[in-house]
Amino acid sequence: MSDLLLKLFEKAKQKKMLDDEFISFLESIFPEKSIDVIETLKRGITKYVYEPSNRIVWTVMGTNQEHLVYPKLFCSCQDFYKNVVIHKKRNYCKHIVAQIISEGFKNFKEVKLKENKFKDLVKELKLNM
């Protein structure tokens, strides 16, 4: 994880809420994305825990659809593909940043499912895995 994302996670763990101080911090490190990240946080983040393996999968609600997020590594959104994978402009998208913040705040929906339901999530998100 980049130092910037680690700093963000640590600050979120410390603050535990989206207040003016945290928003100022977010704007200082992600000036071009802070409003988008806050809107994404408000739309919601879900942590799926599959049992018995304890596989964890995160989803983040985008503007029009839900995106699969592997923390600090991957997002299924177009912006991640275009600006991280293809153009290598940065290492994250707003969904990854929102997931990191929500995990630090411990403010997300948690859903426990049986292992055999993982393929259903992949189908629902229209992913090819």
The per-residue pLDDT for 125 is 78
Considering only residues 126 and 42, tell me which one the structure prediction assigns the higher pLDDT: 42
* Amino acid symbol at 58: W
Pick from 57, 37, 19: nearest CA to 98: 37
For residue 33 the two structure tokens come to: 């994305």
Give the global pTM. Answer: 0.88
In what helix (H) or strand (E) does residue 96 lie, and over which residues does it extend?
Answer: helix 94-105
Residue 129 lies in a domain: no
Q: Which domain holds residue 72?
A: 3-124
- State pLDDT tens for residues 98-122: 999 999 999 999 999 999 888 888 7
State how many domains the chain has: 1
The per-residue pLDDT for 129 is 45
Whether 36 has a pLDDT exceeding 70, the answer reads yes
- Computed over every residue of the chain, the mean pLDDT equals 90
- Nearest-10 crossing angle of helices 34-43, 94-105: 60
pLDDT band, very low/low/confident/very high, at 127 (cuts 50, 70, 90): low
Render 105-121 in DSSP notation, one character per residue. Answer: HT-SEEEEEEGGGHHHH
The whole-angstrom separation of Cα 43 and Cα 91 is 22
Whether 68 has a pLDDT exceeding 80, the answer reads yes
Residue 73 lies in a domain: yes
Whether 128 has a pLDDT exceeding 70, the answer reads no
The whole-angstrom separation of Cα 91 and Cα 30 is 12
Whether 78 has a pLDDT exceeding 80, the answer reads yes
Residue 105 lies in a domain: yes
Residue 102 lies in a domain: yes
The per-residue pLDDT for 22 is 94
Q: Are strands 55-61 and 109-114 parallel, antiparallel or unpaired?
A: unpaired
Residue 95 lies in a domain: yes
Query: How much of the chain, in percent, has pLDDT values that exceed 70?
Result: 97
Whether 4 has a pLDDT exceeding 70, the answer reads yes
Residue 100 lies in a domain: yes
Which residue is it, tokens 């895995």? Answer: 129
SS3 of residue 44 by DSSP? coil
Residue 120 lies in a domain: yes
